[in-house]
Amino acid sequence: MIIKIENLNYIYNPNTPFEKKALDNINLTVEEGDFIGLIGHTGSGKSTLVQHLNGLLKPTSGKVIVDGIDTSSKDGNLKEVRQKVGLVFQYPEHQLFEETVYKDIAFGPKNLGLEKDEVHSRVKKAMELVGLDFENLKERSPFELSGGQKRRVAIAGVLAMKPKVLVLDEPTAGLDPRGRDEILGRIQKLYEEEGITIILVSHSMEDIARLVNKIIVMHKGKLVMEGETKEIFRKAEKLEELGLGIPQITCFMRRYKSRGNPVDDTVLTVEEAKRELINYLRRRGNV
Amino acid sequence: MADEIIRIENVTYQYGSGGEDNQLTAIKDISISVKRGEYLVILGHNGSGKSTLAKLMNGLLLPTKGDVYVNGMNTKDQDKIWDIRQTAGMVFQNPDNQIVATIVEEDVAFGPENQGIPPLEIRKRVDEALRIVEMYEYKKHAPHLLSGGQKQRVAIAGILAMKPDCIILDEPTAMLDPIGRIEIINTIKKLNREEKKTIVHITHYMDEAVEADRILVMEEGRIAMEGTPKEIFSQVDRIKELGLDVPQVTELAYELRKEGFDIPNDILTVEELVKVL
């Protein structure tokens, strides 16, 4: 287990007229090698929870333990926590600031006091991981790049810290389909090839369905559902009650089944639906 | 022509000036006619030129070559620029960048105040605009405490209060969550159907284009495809080539057809596909 959250409560502006309970008794365990989708509509507490994972916020009560370190204990080493858990915010490209792509990505590792050679190899590797050409782009200004490229520079900056857990808050917001597929493809590779534990916050049920193996659902500061991807998307009515949905393709298969066609309605991708339907339609055709 | 509200004639637009290598041609010899009352969607991936095209439509940018006419007025005509912007109002991506006042109704009143409209008339217009976008109950609220979708509706009301014939929306849902997106799409439909506004909606979300009268797909500063949603979405390979998506059911229907199943090539919704299978 890499992250353990116990009875976590968080209150914004305590003891003022603006007091608001943002997290309400959250209990959660993240295992190494998990790929978790965190969903919930705006204001459900997702971002507040995410900011607890690397000590940016400290619990009002309860505990967050990252790889054995309690983020709220006095001797808890937050620097170490932030190295273990890399956090990519929404629109991370707004945080780029250096003159060159290289310097921007090198900023974190340099601050760790690493040797020049180590910084160099980390920058190079991080750029490879997000699919940015090292030789061509390292001396370019990050501000001259396309939106999708800027975002990948920002993610590379986090990866250069070699985190064990990567948390991404809506990494595809505002990108076009091509940019989105590029980023998601890279994230999947990080998971599969680098073995990084990933927590993905997203509003797109289609993206969640395609990628993650576990889902956590937040609602009004509470963790209301938790389970494997298929298991969660089987509960369409419950998700709709929470203002969420299921992938369009899953919705189609459910509706099709309810009209008397015995198909597997737990499919999550177009690819799966195609296989299932071809089997079913051919069988039906032969009767 | 009376039934035409915007005409773009052989327009080219270049960003940057000076040296050859400093220039980027964002729009390449485009001609478009937008009909009065039409719901037009312009699709394209980032960098395809769609936002530049939008800014040319109300004189925020002026063509390098060619002409743009709004209600017969040339956008190059300096004397007409305020009439042009009053005819074709523009809504942008980020609602936070478009809100200027600290109270919703004051924000909506900002446009007509600047037009020198008499106070009683402004009052009427503000109330009416807020009712249309269903934000009337929030008229005394502070905009920064509203949700993204609500803020964007306030921005739309601000444009409506200027009584434009045409509203151009440049990726109005890109920064919103799914609920906010639905709110804005419903508002746009209502503006078109009930208020009879001409709509030019720029987006890269294909599912938002399903109910348009006509779709233009841009690629590298040119118009790559044009047609009704059914005509456009039936060309799944071409759309993917252009870096865009189709709804999942459209893709499924297309894949099944490739496998030899007899399915029409213009499926856009879950219901349609359930019916034909």
Closest CB to B270 among A203, A248, A278: A248
Interchain CB distance below 8 Å, A256 and B274: yes
Compute the nearest-CA separation of B86 from chain A (Å): 28
Question: Which superfamily does CATH assign the domain made up of A3-229 to?
Answer: P-loop containing nucleotide triphosphate hydrolases (3.40.50.300)
Q: Are the CB atoms for A81 and A158 separated by under 8 Å?
A: no
Give the three-state DSSP class for A197. Answer: strand
Q: Which pair of tokens denotes residue A102?
A: 């290289």
Interchain CB distance below 8 Å, A147 and B277: no
CATH 3.40.50.300 placement within chain A:
3-229
CATH class for the region spanning B4-246: alpha beta
| DSSP codes, B126-188 | HHHHHHHTT-GGGTTS-GGGS-HHHHHHHHHHHHHTT--SEEEEESTTTTS-HHHHHHHHHHH
Closest CB to A249 among B204, B248, B259: B248
Cross-sheet strand order for the sheet of B73-74: B24-35, B4-15, B65-70, B73-74
Q: What is the pLDDT of residue B155?
A: 95
Q: CA–CA separation, B66 vs A64, rounded Å?
A: 62
Q: What is the pLDDT of residue A223?
A: 97
Question: Taking Cα atoms as reference points, which of A197, A163, A200 lies closest to residue A85?
Answer: A163
Closest CB to B175 among A43, A173, A243: A173
Of all residues in chain A, what percent carry a pLDDT higher than 70? 99
Q: What is the pLDDT of residue B42?
A: 96
Q: Are the CB atoms for A189 and A199 separated by under 8 Å?
A: no
A278 in contact with B at a CB cutoff of 8 Å?
yes
Q: What is the pLDDT of residue A77?
A: 84
pTM of the model: 0.86
B72 in contact with A at a CB cutoff of 8 Å?
no
Can you list the residues of chain B whose pLDDT is less than 50? none
In total, the C-beta contacts within 8 angstroms joining chain A to chain B are 81
Interchain CB distance below 8 Å, B243 and A177: yes
pLDDT tens digits, one per residue of A103-159: 999 999 999 999 999 999 999 999 999 999 999 999 999 998 888 899 999 999 999
Q: CA–CA separation, B267 vs A117, rounded Å?
A: 56
Residue B233 makes CB contacts below 8 A (sequence gap 6+) with B206, B210, B239, B246, B247, B250, B266, B268
Q: Which pair of tokens denotes residue B183?
A: 């709110």
Q: Which pair of tokens denotes residue B30?
A: 């485009």
Q: Does pLDDT of A284 surpass 80?
A: yes
Residue A240 makes CB contacts below 8 A (sequence gap 6+) with none
CB atoms within 10 A of CB B110: 17
Interchain CB distance below 8 Å, A249 and B249: yes
Of all residues in chain B, what percent carry a pLDDT higher than 70? 97
A259 in contact with B at a CB cutoff of 8 Å?
yes
| DSSP codes, B59-113 | TSS--SEEEEEETTEETT-GGGHHHHHHHEEEE-S-GGGT--SSSHHHHHHHHHH
Residue of B nearest to A275 (CA): B256
Burial code of B237-247, b = ≥16 C-beta within 10 A, e = fewer? eebeebbbbbb
Q: What is the pLDDT of residue B243?
A: 87
Mean pLDDT, chain B, integer: 92
Q: What is the pLDDT of residue B21?
A: 61
Interchain CB distance below 8 Å, B178 and A248: no
Q: What is the pLDDT of residue B117?
A: 94
Q: Does pLDDT of A69 surpass 60?
A: yes
Q: Side chain identity at A86, as an amino acid letter?
A: G
Mutation target to probe the A interface, by most A beta carbons within 10 A, among B239, B252, B254 is B252
